[in-house]
């Protein structure tokens, strides 16, 4: 299995993509708006990926947070609120906010499971900081670590209740970034005392099945390399200090926070300790370079991925989509 998660160019799996994917055997796939038209098309696409590898537990990822980060949108699908809505409610009624976050996540998961998507890149555990880049903004669950962890735990549970695996992101914390890592490399100068705040939600949810790193340089830990490519950050901070034992992927290697070509970027993430490099552009020539540059996944990474995907079968009976949305809305109205 290749230590990479790849994407697709359009609404259907092309012959060239199928040939590459069959030969390379990536760890999974991630979908974007360019891959999505309606329920029938999307289900056919995810079925084609599973059939290609003959894997019922194939990781098929999406960023379906709610708010401005949603690949599946109206009118075909329900709109979901940004995380800021749960942050506001938590200030007045913490228990109600936790329930609202859980039922919202279940509703998201039910819409994903219907079309064959097995992994959602949620929850976002970045602690919001004043003056930071708006790339976090209303996507954050709050500015207090325990609150972020509590709401994030509810989201993980809500996703799992409908058979979808959650991904905690962006380890070890994106909340202090002053610039958008899609455009340039953020550099965080905060010291150890302040960074304790950023780490706390990830420490509290260290048992999550999957995680995603950040392309941020933290001078306190590694003055040269961004977290996704830093053996020090991945091994000493993420694996040891935070105690995260789940499957670890990089953030999108196409983001301009990283330097070099896509193959170099992907290889550096894997060499540093990421189980897989995440490549999101869907450009065939780039995916070929990634496939040539990264090794097979380690036995440890393979085991972590297997454990993570096994958690999606633990969900039991629960609220329907309509019931979950109605309950969420009644709770959010309290704010």
Residue 180 domain-assigned? yes
Residue 100 domain-assigned? yes
CA distances 321 to 39, 78, 96, Å, are 15, 10, 19
Residue 271 domain-assigned? no
Number of independent structural domains in the chain: 1
pLDDT, position 84: 96
The DSSP code for 243 is -
DSSP string, 34-91: GG-S-HHHHHHHHHHHHHHHT-TT--EEE-EEETTEESS-TTTS-----THHHHHHHH
Residue 56 domain-assigned? no
Residue 88 domain-assigned? yes
Residue 23 domain-assigned? no
DSSP string, 262-329: HHHHHHHHHHHT-SEEE--S--HHHHHHHHHHS-BPPHHHHHHHHHHHHGGG---S---HHHHHHHHH
**Catalytic center residues:** 182, 251
Digit-coded pLDDT (tens) for 78-133: 999 999 999 999 999 999 999 999 999 999 999 999 999 999 999 999 999 887 77
Digit-coded pLDDT (tens) for 30-77: 999 999 999 999 999 999 999 999 998 999 999 999 999 999 999 999
Residue 91 domain-assigned? yes
The pTM of this model reads 0.96
Structure tokens at 116: 């064959």
Domain interval for residue 196: 66-260+298-332
CATH (domain of 133): 3.20.20.300
């Amino acid at each position: 299995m290749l230590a990479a998660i790849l994407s697709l160019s359009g609404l259907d799996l092309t012959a060239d993509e199928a040939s590459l994917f069959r030969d390379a055997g990536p760890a999974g796939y991630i979908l974007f708006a360019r891959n999505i038209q309606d329920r029938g098309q999307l289900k056919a696409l995810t079925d084609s990926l599973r059939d290609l590898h003959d894997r019922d537990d194939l990781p098929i990822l999406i960023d379906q947070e709610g708010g401005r980060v949603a690949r599946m949108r109206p009118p075909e699908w329900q709109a979901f609120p940004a995380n800021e809505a749960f942050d506001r409610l938590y200030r007045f009624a913490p228990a109600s906010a936790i329930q609202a976050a859980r039922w919202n996540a279940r509703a998201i998961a039910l819409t994903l499971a219907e079309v064959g998507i097995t992994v959602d890149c949620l929850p976002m555990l970045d602690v919001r900081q004043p003056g930071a880049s708006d790339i976090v903004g209303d996507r954050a669950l709050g500015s207090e670590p325990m609150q972020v962890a509590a709401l994030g735990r509810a989201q993980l549970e809500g996703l799992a209740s409908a058979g979808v695996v959650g991904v905690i992101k962006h380890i070890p914390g994106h909340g202090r970034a002053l610039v958008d890592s899609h455009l340039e490399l953020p550099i965080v100068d905060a010291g150890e005392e302040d960074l304790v705040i950023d780490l706390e939600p990830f420490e509290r949810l260290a048992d999550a099945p999957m995680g995603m790193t950040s392309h941020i340089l933290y001078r306190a830990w590694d003055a040269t390399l961004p977290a996704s490519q830093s053996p020090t950050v991945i091994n000493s901070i993420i694996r040891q200090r935070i105690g995260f034992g789940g499957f670890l992927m990089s953030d999108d290697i196409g983001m301009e926070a990283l330097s070099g070509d896509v193959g170099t970027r992907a290889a550096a993430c894997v060499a540093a300790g990421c189980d897989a490099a995440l490549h999101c552009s869907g450009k065939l020539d780039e995916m070929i370079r990634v496939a040539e540059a990264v090794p097979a996944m380690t036995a440890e990474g393979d085991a972590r991925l297997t454990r993570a995907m096994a958690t999606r079968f633990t969900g039991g009976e629960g609220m329907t989509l309509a019931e979950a949305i109605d309950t969420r809305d009644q709770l959010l109205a309290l704010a």
